[in-house]
Amino acid sequence: MIHLDKVSKIFGSPPKQVEALKNIDLHVNKSEFIIIRGPSGSGKTTLLLSIGGMLQPSSGVVNVENEDIYLLNEFERTKFRASNIGFVFQMFYLIPYLNVLENIMLAAGLGSNGARQRKATELAAQLGISDRILHKPSELSAGERQRVALARALIHQPKIILADEPTGNLDPDNSREVIRILKEYHQTGGTVIFVTHGKDADQFADRIFYLSKGEIVQ
Amino acid sequence: MLIKLIYKEILHRKLNFVLALLAVTIAVAFFVSFFTANDASKKETIRLTRDMGFNLRIIPGETDMNKFWTEGYSDLTMPEDYINRFWEFKDYSFAHLTATLHKKIIWNNKEVVLTGIAPEIEPSEKKKTAMIFSIEPGTVYVGYELAKDMQIRQEDSIKIFNRYFKVNKTLSETGSIDDIRIYGALSEFQDLIGFKGKINEIMALNCLCVSPDENDPLEILREQLDQVLPEAKVIMNTTIANARERQRHMIEEYFAVITIFVIIVIVIWIGVLTMINVRERQKEIGILRAIGHSGVRIFALFIWKALMIGLLGAIIGYATGTILALKFGTGIFKITADSLKPIYSLLIWSIIAAPVFSAFAAFLPTLSAIMKDPAITLRKE
């Protein structure tokens, strides 16, 4: 499903260069729930963005769904991401001027507008935000915003969800709710890579990796 | 979805939109008002410079120029029908052709100049307003100095060589020999001084639009006259002719400088606004990329917005520019105020040019935003 072979990422140039990832070898099977834990600055987000085709490593190979994604051109990689990967971020990154429904529908590659709207409404109901569907992100609580971001990531039924500290800004109840949603997605056959500081999701994880200074240490 | 995104973003960041729209509107209004007024300005300049008088004098070829300048006219004559030769040639640069006959006489113990004038001819068939008054038979126009000296008033009857003429008008002071001139109908003055069918000058106006610095217009006019009337020669009052051309060139050069300045300012203005907008939206661009939107689509998002601003700015700018030109132009161009009218073709040009211009100004900032690695904005580490 996901193979990382000696992936390194270096930012900047000498003498100020930072090696964010160092020779990472990682194999994730289909339908696995993986947790990547590590302190701030350990390279978790860099790793996630590299897997998601958003950040080209300085060296190494990132193979997702039997595709060396950095051999694809920009257009092909965007298309690949649209049909295979869903991103969820700690900061939600919702579009401030769109309402909940429009934010969910924003994900590309869903065919007609009608189908997209039906699916977005359905997801909003499943995630308990159907009464907030016409609200702007600024009118939502943090938990609701993260559920919108989750709905946006899930709408095109991706094979992989890459979640970058999705519970980092949430209270315990909302954190549990987000983890529950991701678990449900996992149970339907989806692969989850969950980057976190905390241990709330440990009970659902198939495997847990620790990242320190750009290296997987255990 | 794209249009909806643009529309919602505009509503969200109204100030940025209004400032960008203002930039395009100002640019379009500037050009529209200039071009709308420019037409009237050209006509006004033509009228004002034309009012400076004829600048070409076509005289018999054998004229002794020493005598010509001391007397003020040629002592030789040519047949009046020479002027009709111009009907046969259309491609020349003489306008307002007027056959005249000048003769100095002693009248009531004073030296005066009799000038017979025929109605103007315009063989080019272009509709032109007459340069000089048309004189009814039996009437005369009397120069300022003469009228003052001899206490001649309008409607008076004066006797010249046993013939009576009614004074149609006494002229205002010109500070030239015209102040001691009596103007009458050509045919009557020809009879009066015994030069039937003769003239000694064709007055005209140069309508050759070449810069006095680029070419010698007189050389061109002489070549043309050689073809039409080889028996005559042409002299030009270069002061008047050059003033005409310099005025025209000055306005064109002034506009060219202002245009460059306005374009540079507006491009920078729109470019900076787009850059601010792009910087504000870095995370948005990153997330759009993350959820599967291509760089081309995101690029289109910004360029479409710029095009919309351009289109709207073109329409508002056209209306503003036209209103300004019509409102203030009538105060500036008093003689040709009536010719100030909306130029509808400028609306089409504005609609084509302003969006292109706006998209061009937004192009580089947008391109730099798209080229930037979206992951950088999404990495919080």
For residues A185 and B381, which has the higher predicted lDDT (pLDDT)?
A185
The per-residue DSSP string of chain A comes to -EEEEEEEEEES-TTS-EEEEEEEEEEE-TT-EEEEE--TTSSHHHHHHHHTTSS--SEEEEEETTEEGGGS-HHHHHHHHHHHEEEEETT----TTS-HHHHHHTSS---SHHHHHHHHHHHHHHTT-GGGTT--GGGS-HHHHHHHHHHHHHTT--SEEEEESTTTTS-HHHHHHHHHHHHHHHHTT-EEEEEESSSTTGGG-SEEEEEETTEE--
Interchain pair B8, A49: CB under 8 A: no
Angstrom distance (rounded) from CA B353 to CA B346: 10
Q: Where residue B381 falls among pLDDT bands split at 50, 70, 90?
A: very low
Q: Which of A147-156, B121-130, B311-320 has the lowest mean pLDDT?
A: B121-130
Cβ distance of A82 and B381 shorter than 8 Å: no
Q: Is the pLDDT of residue B320 over 90?
A: yes
Facing B294 at nearest CB: one of A44, A75, A107: A75
- C-alpha torsion A56→A58→A64→A67, nearest 10: 90
Q: Which residues from chain B sit within 8 angstroms of residue A156, using beta carbons? A: 292
pLDDT in tens, chain A (218 residues): 899 999 999 988 888 888 899 999 999 999 999 999 988 888 998 999 999 998 999 999 999 999 999 999 888 988 898 889 999 988 888 999 999 999 999 876 656 778 888 889 998 998 889 999 999 999 999 999 999 999 999 998 899 999 998 988 888 888 888 999 999 999 999 999 999 888 888 888 999 999 999 998 86
Query: Tell me: the pLDDT tens digits for B141-190?
Result: 999 999 999 999 999 999 998 899 999 999 989 888 889 999 999 999 99
Q: Parallel, antiparallel, or unpaired: how do β-strands B139-142 and B181-185 relate?
A: antiparallel
B30/chain A closest Cα distance in angstroms? 34
Identify the H or E element spanning B100.
strand B94-107
Contact B141, B112 (CB under 8 A): no
Q: In terms of Cα–Cα distance, which of A26, A77, A206, A91 is closest to B283?
A: A91
Residues of A in contact with B11 (CB under 8 A): 97
Residue B293: its chain A contacts at CB < 8 A?
A: 78, 82, 108
- Other Cβ atoms within 10 Å of B14 Cβ, number: 9
Q: Could you give the CA distance from residue B271 to residue B360 in angstroms, rounded to a whole number? A: 9
One-letter amino acid at A128 equals G
Strand partners, B165: B158
A51-68 residue pLDDT tens: 999 899 999 999 999 999
pTM recorded for the entire structure = 0.66
Residues of B in contact with A40 (CB under 8 A): 381
- Comparing A159 with B83, the larger pLDDT belongs to A159
Q: Output B221 or A38, whichever has higher pLDDT.
A: A38
Measured in angstroms, the CA of A67 and the nearest CA of chain B are apart by 17
Question: How high is the pLDDT of residue A37?
Answer: 92
Average pLDDT, chain B: 83
The stretch B102-127 carries a mean pLDDT of 84
Q: Kindly tell me if the per-residue pLDDT of B247 is higher than 80.
A: no
Nearest chain B residue (CA) to A92 = B287
Q: Do B1 and A74 touch (CB under 8 A)?
A: no
> B56-60 and A207-212: which strand pairing?
unpaired
CA distance B310 to chain A (A): 22
Task: Calculate the alpha carbon distances from B22 to A70, A169, B28, B309, B325 in Å.
Answer: 43, 41, 10, 9, 18
Q: Which residue has the higher pLDDT, B224 or B318?
A: B318
CB contact under 8 A, B283 and A40: no
